[in-house]
Structure 1
Amino acid sequence: MVNLQAIQAHNAALKSLAPGLVAVFGKFNVLQRTPAENILALEAECPRCKGSPLPYLISFGGTSGISLSTALAFARHTLSPKIYLIGRNQSAADTAIASMKSINSSAQPTFLQTDISLLKNVDSVCAEIAAKEKKLNLLFMTPGYMTLKGRDETAEGLDRKFVLHYYARMRFIVNLLPLLTVAAQDSSVKANARLSRVVSVLDPHVSVRAGGSGKLNFSDLSLKHTFSLKNCGAHASLMGDFFLEGMAQRHPHTSFVHAYPSGVATGLMREMPAGGVLAAVLTPLLSAFMVPIDESGERHLFAATSERFPPKAEGEGMEGDVAVGSDSTKGSGCYWVSWDGEVFPANKKLGKTREEGAVEKVLQHTEEVFKRVCEEGKTYP
């Protein structure tokens, strides 16, 4: 475990980076359930709780929870950062922006309001960012959809939860990689001070928890015919795992992190139906098992900026404290990081899925979805 004091010391040193980092933060939590379903949904979404040059940052889902706490930490520890918050709630965004300005008067936060459960909207907001910025240092993603409703297709033919947990995130990556690449190769910044990183917060090991198989249904990756909430959770996690591995191979100057937050006291229960009552009852019981929201922000900022997680071009053959990548190669450029700052150990089930061609198959499928929906304007499939 990386202790909190070491993480805070690392984050405090970020002021030594060039001013004006650019970051995008995204969070998009949607809740659909009856009051009686709240506890079941909490257990499903939080396994740990069950039974117990300018810096630029883009964060969608950045107006509350983990994304906001990380954005606030980013604002606190960097000089003149440009921060894009992507979400739906204007009033929450106004509050978040006021908090950032109170922490760092030189911060330049911007809210972009959109519904990213539709890929066409992802394309639109990415185009808006690209029109304003020449580079991007950090893309930080936490969008989610808590529901027990079952498959809920959008107008594009994809399940809404699956879109927010997987397809929208990967579309952001594809669209914004040109800006991330510029940041990675910025000659005005010393090589050891460059930052070009993608962080997707979900859970890289959810598919193997509680005896899960860690397998993908390669004949129905979009789950059009075999959808269940369990399958959706496993597929979103696994496909995120292997898509990020593929991106690290294709784009060796940017690093990619799939982060597990564990149980975090985000206040999300208060947003649910009857959530105030649930929060009052459950928060004291669960607090011992949850990561405080401010600590979570500091820890996720560490995952988003630490030199322990370098891009492939720098990491392979690099000496010192360099993390082992998701494919068991030191400095591979793709890292599956737990809440405590350590990488997950190799897992035989996930290794077998990788050997079955998961990286190539997931990349191919995702590109096919993007071509049909985003380029041809059709529903999938």
Structure 2
Amino acid sequence: MVSIQRIHAHNASLKSLTPNLVAVFVGGTSGISLSTALALARHTISPKIYLIGRSQSAASAAIASMKQINPSAQPTFLQTDISLLRNVDRVCREIAAREPKLNLLFMTPGLITLHGRDETVEGLDRKMVLHYYARMRFVANLLPLLKRAREDVSVSVAERLSRVVSVFDPIVSVRAGGAGALNFDDLELKRTFSLKNAGDHASLMGDFWLEGMAERHPGTAFVHAYPSGVATGVLREVPGARLLSGVLKWVLWPFMVPVEESGERHLFAATSGRFPCREDGEAEQQQQQEEEEDVAVGSDGVRGSGCYWVSWNGEVFPRNQKLEKTRDQDAVTKVLQHTDEVFQRVCT
């Protein structure tokens, strides 16, 4: 476990970075995303922080909190409903028009619902969009800006942060004896949708898509992070959500991560040298040098390979035989191909 003392020490060191770090927080007006954005504002100088969400009132409150923590912070709210990929494309174009580079893309959108398949006008299930397709569309659209951050010669090599963090659960499909398998004949779950299948598929496809991106884009690091239990608004669409949230918070309190601590831990995952991009990981191996922070083993089992499946405590998940079996079915290639096909169908 990465101690909270180490987390705080690392995050405090971020004030030494060049000002004007640029970060986008999808789902950034509440919960883990907001707590991480506030942590970034607390520990950096004049950060440019884009909050993407639906609620203007929640965004106004978030921005007020951010400015109170750090008057030099530069927060901007971009209002949109990202359950439609065309809205994702629009907001990404707006970010690209405002910023020449992007250091951090941090994503948490999602919901818990008891409804079955709920197709948007684009023909995709809303839950699957929020947990997978919209997130990966943000990555695909903003990779040119992330690449420019990596190539920014105006700052030191150590400050060329280029990272993607998607918060979900990399191993939900194997919890409680799950198979950890993908239905490659129906990745979109048009015919085999269930809430469990949707959760498993969104998690697994996120795992392998991000791993594929680390191979294709070695200058950017990709983290798929499990937050554990954190009190957020994810139950808002469940009947009796307020009562249920109160009961669960009381019952699960001993196992919960406080939301502010979660923000600090996710900021560590978003900025620490423990999770380098593939280029830096390979360079360290070649030079056989010890870094100040130990480099984590990537999702493919190779230290510093650029994609990391990280638990709430800052440790990577150990390799799992069920997930390895799915990977051996050419999962990375098949998931990349499927996602490209969906984007071409929906977004062109």
TM-score of the alignment, normalized to the shorter chain, above 0.5? yes
Question: 1:286 offset after TM fit, Å?
Answer: 1.5
Pair 1:350-2:323 in alignment: yes
Pair 1:209-2:182 in alignment: no
Structure 1 letter corresponding to 2:96: A
Aligned to 1:189: 155
Pair 1:129-2:129 in alignment: no
Q: Distance in 2 between matches of 1:272 and 1:92?
A: 20
Match of 2:339 among 346, 354, 366: 366
Pair 1:21-2:21 in alignment: yes
Change (3 A) 1:212 1:157: same
Partner SS state of residue 309, structure 2 = strand
Partner SS state of residue 81, structure 2 = coil
TM-score (norm 2): 0.96
Structure 2 letter corresponding to 1:178: P
Change (3 A) 1:371 1:268: closer
CA contact (8 A) 1:265 1:287 kept: no
Q: Distance in 1 between matches of 2:234 and 2:322?
A: 32
Pair 1:116-2:82 in alignment: yes
Structure 1 letter corresponding to 2:115: K
Question: 1:280 offset after TM fit, Å?
Answer: 4.0
Q: Distance in 1 between matches of 2:245 and 2:342?
A: 39
Question: 1:166 offset after TM fit, Å?
Answer: 0.3
- For residues 202-236 of structure 1, the C-alpha deviation after alignment (integer angstroms, 9 at most, x for no partner) is 00000111111111111111011111111110000
Q: Distance in 2 between matches of 1:242 and 1:270?
A: 29
Structure 2 letter corresponding to 1:256: F
How is 1:248-327 mapped onto 2 (pairs within 5 angstroms)?
Answer: 248-266=214-232, 273-318=239-284, 319-320=289-290, 321-327=294-300
Partner SS state of residue 316, structure 1 = helix
Structure 2 letter corresponding to 1:214: G
Q: Distance in 2 between matches of 1:183 and 1:222?
A: 33
Q: Distance in 1 between matches of 2:345 and 2:301?
A: 34
Q: Distance in 2 between matches of 1:361 and 1:280?
A: 41
Change (3 A) 1:161 1:79: same
Pair 1:177-2:150 in alignment: no
- For residues 315-367 of structure 1, the C-alpha deviation after alignment (integer angstroms, 9 at most, x for no partner) is 12514311000000000000000000000001111111111100000000000
Aligned to 2:110: 144
Of all paired residues, the percent bearing the same amino acid is: 74
Q: What RMSD in Å do the two structures reach over aligned CA positions?
A: 1.2
Q: Distance in 2 between matches of 1:292 and 1:278?
A: 18
CA contact (8 A) 1:325 1:334 kept: yes
Q: Distance in 2 between matches of 1:161 and 1:270?
A: 13
Aligned to 1:242: 208
Q: Distance in 2 between matches of 1:255 and 1:228?
A: 32
CA contact (8 A) 2:47 2:72 kept: yes
TM-score (norm 1): 0.87
Aligned to 2:5: 5
Aligned to 1:168: 134
Count of residues in Structure 1 that have an aligned counterpart in Structure 2: 341
Question: 1:117 offset after TM fit, Å?
Answer: 0.3
Partner SS state of residue 248, structure 2 = helix
Structure 2 letter corresponding to 1:20: N
More displaced, 267-276 or 326-335? 267-276
Question: 1:265 offset after TM fit, Å?
Answer: 2.2
Q: Distance in 2 between matches of 1:224 and 1:275?
A: 28
Aligned to 2:193: 227
Q: Distance in 1 between matches of 2:152 and 2:184?
A: 39
Q: Distance in 2 between matches of 1:285 and 1:207?
A: 24
Change (3 A) 1:110 1:358: same
Aligned to 1:102: 68
